[in-house]
Structure 1
């Protein structure tokens, strides 16, 4: 039995319902009791800082979106402006407060828009390129949100094992519960483009090429320090022990939509490559030192 067709109207209704069902999480709703701050900090300082930074980078994310999609659709605008932005900022505030409670420095969001995005945005005024950019935006969003769900799930389990149930259940778990809705939006949006055959074969080819050359993990932003940090997050959450399983979890949607499961592909190879490179960088130079938040990035 085939799935119901995704329409602009059904997608818009999904977004409106998402906003109604999941209002931003307030700081006052969190129980910030921490039994052993030093133990939490020792194990997860880098993880919490990384997640807080990524959540607080939504201002830059919106600027990137408007850069690569100069003709952003009504539904996309409702999603990022009325739903996603406030939810993500609330996540960042919660995690930043957790950092303060642990005696850590607050997160330092990265604010540079890479040159490659500006170039893509300049070309995106031509509709065929705009459509390629839109598909890549949805695929990136889906991968990002799936990574977030897995990270928050692992962190919740580990904090619970440590007896830190208050922050696990009232900070990390509520954040995790909001991420699948974001993933679903990106997934449905990408599926609609493929379903409606909005891209010609040459556009799919270009999208594959761009994705293969430019893919990065969530929060890396083409900055080597952040790529190393991501490797540290993977090791702290033991993701490095099952990299192929993780790559499949975050890459199977893209394998299906962008690559049509070519030659039995379970996930695009650049997912596993990015994971391995991140871990190798961290193992070689393990640290979470912060780069300049306004660093020039190609």
Structure 2
């Protein structure tokens, strides 16, 4: 684990802000097609600053390798992702993002207080790893789609110097969470596993989508990317990819279960709420 984190830091330092070529052939069209994506993703990437505050509350006594990962490697990388994406959207004529960098929910503070008991903190750690798995898998899928979309628009400079460098850094984060989750799950007792399953089922949601407005923003983003088109089959495929490792760890004993139901239902609510707002269930392609 420690070696993996060290390699991530050495091989993938934060993307230099002066390395980006923001040249756009048709910034208006880029904003129309992917404005909702840039708005959502830049906010989520910049909010890692608050996420680290949350982790320090959630994990009063974290393993040294976890703290090294999220404070020294993950946060600097993700912060630069957010700054780059935010600069891109401003240059494309869109508003700058307004991330929440300080406000921490009461629910998380309560879980952090309970986490002073070691056995409970292990449950919190497991929830952290599972959230990381879903978040990073979603990010990989999104950046792959965004890269293809930029090439389709002919925005090669943006694809090459913005999206490609960002997407190269996400799989390493996913690998970390996967290694950590598999290792910790095997060490948890029966009551801890039950509590993880229960809390995960009740609290799962797309990253950065903590209220109705943010869920709409998430729904717009995944529809603009073409990840989902309003068809539940697309949503199921997306949920399968995001929730695969979570299913293998938490729910392997449930035969016939393709993916935890709460993963699919969470995405379904967001996507359908956006479709209802637009007045149909067609892709949001072409809308800002």
- Give the TM bin, normalised by the shorter chain: over 0.9
Equivalent residue for 1:228? 216
Equivalent residue for 1:149? 140
Equivalent residue for 2:199? 210
1:283 corresponds to 2:275:
yes
TM-score by length of structure 2 reads 0.92
Residue 181 (structure 1) aligned to one of 161, 172, 185: 172
Does structure 1 retain, via aligned residues, the 8 Å contact 2:28–2:93? no
Does structure 2 retain, via aligned residues, the 8 Å contact 1:228–1:286? no
Q: Superposition pairs for residues 70-149 of structure 1, below 5 Å? A: 70-111=60-101, 112-149=103-140
Q: CA deviation at 1:265?
A: 2.3
TM-score by length of structure 1 reads 0.89
1:245 corresponds to 2:234:
no
Superposed CA offset, 1:171-226 (max 9, x none): 011101100001110110001112xx321111111110100001001211x21100
Structure 2 segments unaligned to the other structure (5+ residues): 280-288
Q: Give 3-state SS (helix, strand or coil) of 1:240's partner.
A: coil
How far apart are the structure 2 equivalents of 1:164 and 1:226? 28
Report how many residues are paired: 274
How far apart are the structure 1 equivalents of 2:100 and 2:240? 28
How far apart are the structure 2 equivalents of 1:185 and 1:214? 22
Q: Give 3-state SS (helix, strand or coil) of 1:285's partner.
A: helix
Structure 1 segments unaligned to the other structure (5+ residues): 1-10, 288-298
Equivalent residue for 1:30? 20
Q: Give 3-state SS (helix, strand or coil) of 1:109's partner.
A: coil
Q: CA deviation at 1:261?
A: 5.1
1:198 corresponds to 2:187:
yes
